[in-house]
Amino acid sequence: MLSQGFVSAAAIAASVLFILSLGGLSNQEKAKRAVWYGIVGMAVAVFFTAFGPGIGAYWLMIPMMIIGAVIGAYVAKKVDMTEMPQLVAALHSFVGLAAVFVAWSADLERRRVLAARALDAGTEQFSAFAALVATKAPDELMFLQVEVVLGVFIGAVTFTGSVIAFGKLAGKVDGKPKQLPGGHLLNAGAAALSLLLAILYLNGAGFWTLLLIAALAFFIGYHLIMGIGGADMPVVVSMLNSYSGWAAAAIGFTLSNDLLIVTGALVGSSGAILSYIMCKAMNRNFVNVILGGFGGSQGPAAEIEGEQVAIDAGGVASALNDADSVIIVPGYGMAVAQAQNAVSELVRKLRAAGKQVRFGIHPVAGRLPGHMNVLLAEARVPYDIVLEMDEINDDFASTDVVIVIGSNDIVNPAAQDDPNSPIAGMPVLKVWESKQVFVCKRGQGTGYSGIENPLFFKENTRMFYGDARSSIDSLLSQID
């Protein structure tokens, strides 16, 4: 059993490592080292917490830790990069559900302590947490109740919201925004009723109030995320990441665990900041994101004139051979086809031929923030040619060829031209301003978000149909 001094020192060390990890993730070159900071920090946190003072039942805890570690290692090896967004959403749901269970357990232990006090019984048989509760004054127990309510409510919203986000990302739930009759009034009513139940609970009502609060919060999480369209799912994942952090912080206060408080606050604040940045990138209102109030159309979409014109690999290769400047815009289709290595080889051959090749990355490309950057780094694409939207958007007008790989909304001119579009006002990559645009796409469908794209019908656009990996592979042998 380790002393409290060791545990406190370990908590400070782990917190510093987590901060270094978050800071390093902002830079591609430092990201690998930053991940190791996080791994070591979590290992320190788990070890010193598990063997700290007041912890017991190792006969149960250690097997659970081993089982969890084995499952985690198995999932990490099995999950492809294309499935990473839904994996993140699933992990968020675990955090939320854990917060609910811990909060319920904390209240049951609180009631046990109060019952023992009423009977003037001893505390020798109490759990470590109940013994801690037994030392609290009445006003401190009131704060504990507030923490329990927050843990239940935030955790429950995070759980069902993350489950629906997982379903939408995995294609198991329709990506279109859907709400029950009454819309946001249902969410507001459930939130108001949760507040009323919280007041009753704080004034001595039974455990049933926490059960009802959890049920209402489960509904809110479900209905919020169901009301958000697939095009906005990257922001949703980031937002749920923030929710899971605040749920963890609330439980940290409940358990008097400083490390959990710090870690939860780091996750919650970083997720909120990232959500805000992404909302700015999509021209969305941050409050509307939190309330699930966006993602639907504002009226009838503008009619699209023209037709989609297909082109074969020979035509695309000929244009690339004649071009001096090329910009590649990757999207989730590249991830699905696992085409990043083929794209990297295409870039190598084009650059060897003396052509300027760069990548244009939209802040919400793919279904997870930074998804495209990770894929390109995995394929060893040089960092210096991977540019953000703001860095490259003005260069499209002077670019010979743009290759769009599996992207739809982030290159959709309707965001600027059609006020009734579901993505109206969203900043996009202005690929249509280039001389020629080739779109690698599996078919003529509208894609994940269900939004039609006028880019596909423009005179300077040609559709390069087929699996992205096979399509890029077919170009390699034809590049001079």
Does one domain contain both 411 and 345?
yes
Domain membership of residue 295 (yes or no) is no
Cβ neighbours of 29 (radius 10 Å): 9
- State how many domains the chain has: 3
Mean pLDDT to the nearest integer, 96-122: 79
| Per-residue confidence (pLDDT) for residue 259, from 0 to 100 | 84
Identity at 380, one-letter amino acid code:
R
Confidence check: pLDDT of 294 > 60:
no
Q: Which residues have C-beta within 8 Å of that of residue 250, sequence separation ≥ 6?
A: 99, 103, 147, 150, 151, 154, 155, 264
Residue 33, domain extent = 1-78
Cα separation, 423 vs 404, whole angstroms: 19
What are the b/e assignments for 51-64, b being 16+ CB within 10 Å? Answer: ebeeeeeeeeeeee
| Per-residue confidence (pLDDT) for residue 119, from 0 to 100 | 64
Cα separation, 314 vs 311, whole angstroms: 8
Does one domain contain both 14 and 127?
no
Cβ neighbours of 428 (radius 10 Å): 23
pLDDT digits (tens, 9 = 90+) for 12-37: 899 999 989 888 877 667 778 888 99
Domain membership of residue 97 (yes or no) is yes
Identify which has the larger pLDDT, 432 or 32: 432
Domain membership of residue 382 (yes or no) is yes
Single residue among 28, 56, 78 that ends a domain in this structure: 78
Cα separation, 271 vs 162, whole angstroms: 14
Report the chain's mean pLDDT, rounded to a whole number: 84
pLDDT digits (tens, 9 = 90+) for 148-191: 999 999 999 999 999 998 888 877 887 777 888 877 789 889 99
Cα separation, 10 vs 87, whole angstroms: 29
* pLDDT band at residue 76 using 50, 70 and 90 as cut-offs: confident
Does one domain contain both 240 and 106?
yes
Mean pLDDT to the nearest integer, 77-100: 84
| Per-residue confidence (pLDDT) for residue 132, from 0 to 100 | 62
Does one domain contain both 276 and 319?
no
Domain membership of residue 431 (yes or no) is yes
Does one domain contain both 125 and 161?
yes
| Per-residue confidence (pLDDT) for residue 128, from 0 to 100 | 59
Does one domain contain both 271 and 353?
no
Asked if 322 and 355 touch (Cβ cutoff 8 Å), the reply is no
Does one domain contain both 101 and 31?
no
- The proportion of the chain whose per-residue pLDDT surpasses 90, expressed as a percent, equals 35
Confidence check: pLDDT of 252 > 80:
yes
Single residue among 78, 96, 129 that ends a domain in this structure: 78
**Residues known to be catalytic:** 409
Domain membership of residue 102 (yes or no) is yes
Q: What share of the chain is helix, strand, coil (3-state, %, to 5)?
A: 65, 5, 30
Does one domain contain both 88 and 58?
no
Write out the H or E segment, with its range, that includes residue 319: helix 313-322
What are the b/e assignments for 119-133, b being 16+ CB within 10 Å? Answer: eeeeeeebeebbebb
What are the b/e assignments for 339-361, b being 16+ CB within 10 Å? Answer: bbbbbbbbbbbbeeeebebbbbb
Domain membership of residue 318 (yes or no) is yes
CATH at 322: 3.40.50.1220
Cβ neighbours of 167 (radius 10 Å): 17
Does one domain contain both 73 and 97?
no
Task: Name the least confident of 45-59, 239-253, 305-319.
Answer: 45-59
Does one domain contain both 217 and 167?
yes
pLDDT digits (tens, 9 = 90+) for 276-291: 877 777 777 767 666 6
* Distance spanning both ends of the chain, measured CA to CA: 68
* pLDDT band at residue 299 using 50, 70 and 90 as cut-offs: low
Single residue among 78, 102, 122 that ends a domain in this structure: 78
pTM: 0.77
Confidence check: pLDDT of 86 > 90:
no
Task: Name the least confident of 201-205, 327-331, 461-465.
Answer: 201-205
Long-range contacts of 412-419 (CB under 8 A, 24+ apart): 412/451, 412/453, 412/454, 412/455, 413/453, 413/454, 413/455, 413/458, 414/301, 414/302, 414/451, 414/452, 414/453, 414/454, 417/302, 417/454, 418/301, 418/302, 418/454, 419/298, 419/299
Cβ neighbours of 383 (radius 10 Å): 13
* pLDDT band at residue 448 using 50, 70 and 90 as cut-offs: low
Domain membership of residue 299 (yes or no) is no
Does one domain contain both 262 and 387?
no
Cα separation, 225 vs 295, whole angstroms: 10
Does one domain contain both 208 and 101?
yes
Domain membership of residue 68 (yes or no) is yes
